[in-house]
Amino acid sequence: SKEGSTDEDTDQVVRIGYQKNGPLVILKSLGNLDERLKEEGWEVEWKEFQAGPALVEALNAGGIDVGRTGNSPPIFAQAADAPFTTLAAGKSKFYGSGILVPEDSDITSVSDLKDKKVSFAKGSSSHFLIVKALEEAGLKYEDIHPEFLTPGDARVAFEQGNIDAMVVWDPYTASTEINSGGKLLINGEGISTDRDFFLATNDFADQHADITEIIMEEVEDSSEWANNNHEELIEMLSPILKIDEASIKKSIERREYGVDEINDKIIKEQQEIADTFYQLNIIPKEIHVKDVME
């Protein structure tokens, strides 16, 4: 019987895009999903991406079926009419995202950022965060000098004093705090939720709802494991991320892994980001995030 089933079943492959710096890497390392889907006659191909946009790019081109990104790539994908749908969202991790300044910096509040060089990745959650933070502090976006850099490059510039502040997310935040004398000016609390989003191509989501369901279940389980086994988690992540354990510890301790069903609140958060990006001319048209979230 096995032979008969393998023949047809080995065709069934789900390609999952992940980033090292995300929850799926835990699931991949635990191996639970691979096992579970194998029972269903499915094989998992894990595809690593270094950045969210590249992952969405692959999703758009049908290179992967399912994937996870931060909160802004889905907005660009939707603006580009990519054929995808949102499976679920991750829990908010605003504690780990924020504005970092050097410890000995004169900048003590967001309003001090006026006329300063602030680095962040263009179109990232950090971009949204800084815009909102400035707004709250009564500043305009034009009041700062934005320096678009990816987190790794920004870190070098930060150490070298080329920039006055940088906006990033964990584990970069934690690592900079611990290793590069950075201090958090503010975190994302009340400004940005900085959720993960789990996406699937329309085709896959339509045809294999059962599989996406299983995937999300396993993500939940692995999140739960992660929340309850910090020691093991640190041990798991540190060789993968090649970041010191202290930074990893700091970053996982201030976040909660888990999955949230898409709800109005999340849709509203996302819509706000989309609107902001539209106003900033980052996306070319207005979108309704609801369209890809149901």
In the list 47, 114, 132, 290, the residue contacting other proteins (rule: CB under 8 A) is 47
- Residue 142 touches other proteins, criterion: CB under 8 A: no
| Non-local CB neighbours of 268 within 8 Å, separated by 6+ positions | none
Q: How far apart are CA 249 and CA 238, in angstroms?
A: 9
- Residue 149 touches other proteins, criterion: CB under 8 A: yes
The answer to whether the CB of 138 falls within 8 A of the CB of 130 is no
- Residue 40 touches other proteins, criterion: CB under 8 A: no
Site string (161-190) toward other proteins, x via CB under 8 A: -xx-----------x---xx----------
Whole-number minimum distance, CB 271 to other proteins, in Å?
18
Q: How far apart are CA 214 and CA 27, in angstroms?
A: 12
Task: Provide the residue type at 233 as one letter.
Answer: L
In the list 144, 166, 191, 283, the residue contacting other proteins (rule: CB under 8 A) is 283
Provide φ and ψ at 233, rounded to 5°: -60, -45
User: What number of residues does the chain have?
Assistant: 294
In the list 30, 79, 234, 236, the residue contacting other proteins (rule: CB under 8 A) is 79
In this structure, the number of other CB atoms found within 10 A of the CB of residue 268 comes to 12
Q: Which is nearer to other proteins, 62 or 190 (CB)?
A: 62
Q: Which is nearer to other proteins, 40 or 278 (CB)?
A: 278
Burial (Cβ within 10 Å: 0-12, 13-18, ≥19) of residue 275? middle
Task: Provide the residue type at 167 as one letter.
Answer: V
Helix, strand or coil, per DSSP, at residue 229: coil
Q: How far is CA 177 from CA 18, 159, 208, in A?
A: 26, 11, 43
In the list 114, 122, 183, 290, the residue contacting other proteins (rule: CB under 8 A) is 122
- Residue 284 touches other proteins, criterion: CB under 8 A: yes
In the list 159, 217, 221, 275, the residue contacting other proteins (rule: CB under 8 A) is 159
Q: Given strand 117-120, what is the order of strands in its sheet?
A: 145-148, 117-120, 165-168, 98-102, 182-187
In the list 29, 150, 227, 238, the residue contacting other proteins (rule: CB under 8 A) is 150
- Residue 238 touches other proteins, criterion: CB under 8 A: no
Contacting positions for other proteins (CB under 8 A): 17, 20, 46-50, 53-58, 60-64, 76-77, 79-83, 119, 122-123, 146-153, 155-157, 159-160, 162-163, 175, 179-180, 241-243, 282-284
